[in-house]
């Protein structure tokens, strides 16, 4: 006896007719939208109706340059691409970024939180959360502790770690960037948890870097969000390998979330100050926080550690490169320091307004090689029209910060390192405040920790110039070796300097003594109750 199949015959006329009808309706809706709404911004022609520009996205380390090229080719500040129904717009000019991301921040401040972000544990990181109640609660706590008056609490840690960094540079070390990375990570871990990092090879900072390395591999995997069935593939199945990446990321982030948090509680109880400890404890030393506040505090720690590790170290590495390549600029900066603060002490934060040329060097470092050349993507929560172009709801917006900081209409010879471009008339005062530094982002998604990062990078620059000379290596004949800027970086979503060959040596015997004497300084504010 035969039985009929429980599955319908998909080749029969009714089912074929249904499929064809649905396809026709989708096609008609697509073309109606294209012909009744303003056009999308220009961009490369899509290869396929279904996949759009999939496979046409620029690849390699300097994709931001390709978007600049396309902007010139299409005569537009905006470049549009599409894949699997998801829209992407790259913004190449400050004018357009200011209009779309600042003035229209109400509808352009979300993030394109993807399936990969969810799988990878990145919901614990403020900078990647969509614009919603959870983000607002998270941001509120961050803002209370990292706005200018709150950021001052980080200064004792910053000074202690920067002074230790100066001592580390006396040697021995394998590469100076190891010292720079240790500096950046130690400030984050000590500020947040009271946890002292003595080497970038310590387990917890290594876990943070591993998570960030995974994140760099995730762009381009958004197809998994738009093809939902792929989430059910086993990791060993072809196309399922993204799960292994995501699981590794999640493991690292969970460890950074939980382990140092417990350390912060113990450190506070032993008398060592930390921001997490202060948030959770009353004056009698007992935890006083609701579970939601504890989770937000844990995530604030994760965000700070992950956000500051690569960015701060990249800016300091860029400064070292700029000084090695431009001894004349270095000497001019050192003359200003010697005249203003003398040669018998290290700079303080109070010296900053009196050192305009040091400020200009800092601004030029941030402009010359922006660490996040395409920033972090925004996401639109409503459709928009800019300059006659339609931007659909749910579009991922990328601010091409490299294009803006290298705009020839704004910066003469933008590829050159010229601090004077940031000075006002007569070389006094600096043009623009911290919000004019484009590396920190735009609108409501501007970097919430920018005041701490700003102070760290500026103080490191000022201290290095006070006690060290930075120069190119000389060969046996006394000729300086040449450095190619392009060979001194790993170019990708994040631009990271390498430990390129250079000489970092004390300016004098008295400078070396001043460096060594920092080991005896007592820094107020590192203990509970100070």
Q: Residue 286's domain is classified under what CATH number?
A: 1.10.630.10
User: Pick the residue with more confidence: 436 or 24?
Assistant: 436
| Predicted local confidence at residue 512, as pLDDT | 97
Q: Classify residue 153: in a domain, yes or no.
A: yes
| Predicted local confidence at residue 115, as pLDDT | 63
Stretch among 64-78, 211-225, 362-376, 415-429 having the lowest mean pLDDT? 211-225
Burial of 51 from C-beta contacts in 10 A (0-12 / 13-18 / 19+): middle
Cβ atoms of residues 487 and 308 within 8 Å: no
| Predicted local confidence at residue 1, as pLDDT | 42
Give the pLDDT band (50/70/90) at residue 211. Answer: confident
Q: Classify residue 147: in a domain, yes or no.
A: yes
Give the pLDDT band (50/70/90) at residue 414. Answer: very high
DSSP for 240-272? -THHHHHHHHHHHHHHHHHHHHHHHHHHHHTTB
| Predicted local confidence at residue 315, as pLDDT | 97
Q: Please compute the mean of the pLDDT values over residues 439-455 and round it to a whole number.
A: 94
Q: Classify residue 88: in a domain, yes or no.
A: yes
- Give residue-wise pLDDT tens across range 483-512: 999 999 999 889 999 999 999 999 999 999
Percent of the chain predicted with pLDDT > 90: 57
Cβ atoms of residues 445 and 313 within 8 Å: no
- How many angstroms separate the CA atoms of 500 and 466, rounded? 22
| Predicted local confidence at residue 224, as pLDDT | 56
Give residue 378's domain range. Answer: 40-520
Q: Please compute the mean of the pLDDT values over residues 439-463 and round it to a whole number.
A: 95
Q: Please compute the mean of the pLDDT values over residues 370-390 and round it to a whole number.
A: 95
- How many angstroms separate the CA atoms of 376 and 82, rounded? 18
Stretch among 15-19, 116-120, 172-176, 520-524 having the lowest mean pLDDT? 15-19
Give the pLDDT band (50/70/90) at residue 415. Answer: very high
Give the pLDDT band (50/70/90) at residue 91. Answer: very high
User: Pick the residue with more confidence: 223 or 271?
Assistant: 271
- How many angstroms separate the CA atoms of 267 and 246, rounded? 32
- Least Cα distance to 146 among 455, 379, 425 occurs for 455
Query: Does residue 287 carry a pLDDT above 70?
Result: no
Q: Classify residue 32: in a domain, yes or no.
A: no
Sheet holding 78-83, edge to edge: 78-83, 86-91, 396-399, 378-379
Percent of the chain predicted with pLDDT > 70: 85
CA distances from 286 to 66, 225, 264 (A): 55, 43, 13
| Predicted local confidence at residue 219, as pLDDT | 45
| Predicted local confidence at residue 99, as pLDDT | 97
- Any known ligand binding at 447? yes
- How many angstroms separate the CA atoms of 416 and 530, rounded? 45
- Give residue-wise pLDDT tens across range 42-74: 999 998 887 888 888 888 889 999 999 999 999
Q: Please compute the mean of the pLDDT values over residues 283-304 and round it to a whole number.
A: 74
Q: Classify residue 4: in a domain, yes or no.
A: no
Q: Which single residue is written with the structure tokens 């090879």?
A: 201
| Predicted local confidence at residue 72, as pLDDT | 97
**Count of residues for the chain?**
530
Burial of 199 from C-beta contacts in 10 A (0-12 / 13-18 / 19+): middle
Residue 506 three-state SS: strand
Run of H or E including 390: strand 389-391
Average pLDDT score over the chain = 86
Residues 6+ apart with CB under 8 A from 156: 523, 524, 525, 526
| Predicted local confidence at residue 346, as pLDDT | 98
| Predicted local confidence at residue 247, as pLDDT | 81
Q: Classify residue 331: in a domain, yes or no.
A: yes
Give the pLDDT band (50/70/90) at residue 110. Answer: very high
CA dihedral angle for residue 195, residue 197, residue 200, residue 202, rounded to 10 degrees: -70
Stretch among 67-71, 129-133, 325-329 having the lowest mean pLDDT? 129-133
Tell me the chain's radius of gyration from C-alpha atoms: 26
Q: Classify residue 27: in a domain, yes or no.
A: no
What is the number of domains present in the chain?
1
Burial of 433 from C-beta contacts in 10 A (0-12 / 13-18 / 19+): exposed
pTM for this predicted structure: 0.88
- Give residue-wise pLDDT tens across range 18-27: 556 665 665 5
Q: Classify residue 249: in a domain, yes or no.
A: yes
């Amino acid at each position: 006896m035969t039985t009929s199949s429980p599955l319908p015959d998909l080749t029969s006329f009714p089912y074929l007719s249904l499929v064809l009808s649905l396809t026709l309706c989708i096609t008609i809706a697509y073309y109606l939208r294209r012909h009744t709404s303003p056009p999308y911004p220009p961009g490369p022609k899509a290869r396929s109706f279904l996949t759009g520009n999939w496979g046409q996205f620029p690849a390699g380390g300097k994709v931001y340059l390709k978007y600049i090229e396309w902007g010139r080719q299409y005569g537009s500040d905006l470049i549009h691409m599409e894949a699997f129904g998801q829209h992407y717009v790259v913004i190449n000019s400050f004018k357009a970024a200011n209009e779309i991301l600042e003035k229209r921040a109400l509808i352009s401040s979300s993030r394109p939180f993807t399936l990969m972000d969810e799988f990878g544990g990145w919901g614990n990181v403020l900078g990647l959360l969509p614009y919603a109640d959870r983000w607002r609660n998270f941001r509120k706590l961050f803002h209370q502790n990292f706005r200018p008056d709150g950021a001052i609490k980080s200064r004792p840690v910053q000074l202690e770690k920067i002074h230790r960094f100066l001592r580390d540079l006396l040697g021995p070390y394998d590469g100076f960037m190891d010292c720079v990375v240790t500096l950046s990570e130690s400030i984050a871990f000590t500020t947040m948890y009271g946890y002292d990092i003595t080497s970038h090879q310590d387990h917890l900072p290594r876990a943070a870097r591993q998570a960030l390395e995974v994140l760099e591999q995730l762009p381009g995997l958004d197809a998994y969000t738009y093809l939902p069935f792929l989430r059910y593939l086993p990791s060993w199945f072809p196309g399922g390998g993204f799960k292994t990446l995501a699981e590794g990321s999640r493991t690292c982030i969970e460890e950074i979330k939980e382990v140092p948090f417990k350390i912060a509680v113990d450190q506070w109880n032993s008398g060592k100050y930390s921001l997490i400890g202060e948030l959770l404890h009353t004056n009698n030393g007992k935890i006083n926080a609701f579970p939601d506040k504890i989770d937000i505090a844990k995530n604030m720690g994760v965000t700070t550690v992950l956000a500051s590790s690569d960015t701060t170290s990249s800016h300091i590495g860029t400064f070292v490169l700029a000084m090695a390549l431009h001894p004349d600029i270095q000497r001019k900066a050192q003359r200003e320091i010697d005249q203003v603060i003398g040669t018998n002490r290290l700079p303080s934060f109070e010296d900053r307004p009196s050192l305009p040329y040091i400020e200009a060097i800092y601004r030029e470092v941030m402009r010359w090689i922006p660490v996040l050349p395409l920033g972090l993507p925004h996401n639109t929560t409503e459709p928009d029209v800019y300059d006659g172009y339609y931007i659909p709801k749910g579009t991922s917006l990328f601010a091409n910060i490299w294009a803006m900081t290298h705009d020839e209409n704004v910066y003469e010879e933008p590829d050159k390192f010229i601090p004077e471009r940031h000075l006002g008339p007569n070389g006094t005062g600096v043009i623009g405040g911290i919000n004019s530094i484009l590396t920190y982002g735009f609108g409501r998604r501007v970097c919430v920790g920018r005041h701490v990062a700003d102070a760290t990078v500026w103080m490191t620059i000022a201290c290095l110039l006070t006690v060290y000379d930075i120069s190119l290596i000389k060969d046996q004949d006394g000729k300086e070796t040449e450095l190619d800027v392009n060979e001194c970086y790993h170019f990708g979503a994040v631009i990271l300097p390498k430990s390129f060959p250079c000489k970092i040596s004390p300016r004098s015997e008295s400078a070396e003594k001043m460096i060594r004497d920092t080991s005896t300084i007592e820094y107020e504010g590192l203990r509970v109750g100070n």
